[in-house]
Amino acid sequence: MFSKKRWRIIDTKTGTAPWNMAVDEALLSQYNESGFPILRLYGWHNALSIGRFCKLGEDIDVQSAAHKKIALVRRLSGGGILAHGNALSYSLIFPRSFAGERSVKENYRFLCRFLICFYKKIGLKAEFACETDIQSRPSNVCLAGREPYDLTIEGKKMGGNAQRYAKHAFLQHGSIPIGIDETLFEDLFFEESGLSKAATLQKFGIALSYEELSKMLIEAFCETFDAAIVPDLLSVSEEQTAKELLENKYTQEDWNLYGKFHA
């Protein structure tokens, strides 16, 4: 299915949380099924991203986040609340037909294989939680919860991944935490944050730059899916759509705090 398929590789580098999510939605909404599927790479300033259906006020001290100048942005995908600091994130956008007959969970397993390959390249053994003795546990806070196809290293959860299905295309995005300032985020959570028990590359002694990690992630992706890459930038249309979404949606409290969007 992925054999020697050409993929657009778009590295938008480190951006604000609202811009990152605006670009993801722009790429999904502008995607043409006849075009190349997309692998996007990007980084974050300190932020919390919130799953599409999370009730933010039940889990996060919003006023404290504002005082600390930590951005809050609601994703178009599901899942829980995830803290972002020094990280390498990815987004995949491709036709619905690529998912075949696989279920949502089976798609996580299929797609996250390139992350397992990536971690192997940097000397870490990543496993799906369902293949270990880690018990599943639902939570609105991403790092405090455990789902069957979460990636774990030495029993610790490694980042998070989430999906969004549109009529014509499919999005999966996720984060590889390089390091995170736990003290900055810890007191924002009313319940367990999971930060102290979660994995980061720095905790495992991996000292590689964003650029080095990006190169290795692309190599792992190409090896896993037998893919060929075409380095690219956002098109004029994609960038304009992202700017409109940034202004009208991802910087608006109605969306970020309450999940309400007035088109």
User: Based on the structure, what is the number of domains in the chain?
Assistant: 1
Report the CATH number at residue 52: 3.30.930.10
Q: Answer whether residue 206 is part of any domain.
A: yes
Q: Mind listing the pLDDT tens digit for each residue in 201-218?
A: 999 999 999 999 999 999
Residue pair 243/21 in contact (Cβ under 8 Å)? The answer is no
Per the model's pLDDT, the better-predicted residue between 145 and 194 turns out to be 194
DSSP state, residue 82: E
Q: Which pLDDT does position 124 carry in this prediction?
A: 97
Sort strands 82-84 and 156-157 into parallel, antiparallel or unpaired. Answer: unpaired
Q: Answer whether residue 263 is part of any domain.
A: no
Q: Which pLDDT does position 133 carry in this prediction?
A: 78
Q: Answer whether residue 32 is part of any domain.
A: yes
% pLDDT > 90, the chain = 76
Can you give the residue range of the structural domain that contains 218?
6-258
* Residue keyed to tokens 């999940």: 259
Q: Answer whether residue 1 is part of any domain.
A: no
For residue 103, count CB atoms less than 10 angstroms from its CB and return exposed for 0-12, middle for 13-18, buried for 19 or more.
exposed
* Mean pLDDT, rounded, for 43-53: 95
Q: Which pLDDT does position 4 carry in this prediction?
A: 58
| Torsion from C-alpha of 177, 239, 229, 175, nearest 10 degrees | 10
As a whole number of Å, the end-to-end CA separation of the chain is 36
pLDDT classification of 2: cutoffs 50, 70, 90: low
Please determine, for residue 174, whether its predicted confidence score (pLDDT) is greater than 80: yes
Query: Taken in order 166, 50, 93, 200, is the CA torsion positive or negative?
Result: negative
Residue pair 135/172 in contact (Cβ under 8 Å)? The answer is no
Q: What is the mean pLDDT of the chain?
A: 92
Residue pair 44/15 in contact (Cβ under 8 Å)? The answer is yes
In this structure, what are the phi and psi dihedrals at residue 177, rounded to the nearest 5 degrees? -75, 120
* Mean pLDDT, rounded, for 82-86: 94
- How many other C-beta atoms lie within 10 A of the C-beta of residue 170? 21
Query: In which order are the strands placed within the sheet that holds 156-157?
Result: 126-128, 151-153, 156-157
Q: Answer whether residue 182 is part of any domain.
A: yes
Q: Answer whether residue 134 is part of any domain.
A: yes
Q: Answer whether residue 145 is part of any domain.
A: yes
Q: Which pLDDT does position 195 carry in this prediction?
A: 92
Residue pair 218/12 in contact (Cβ under 8 Å)? The answer is no
Q: Answer whether residue 105 is part of any domain.
A: yes
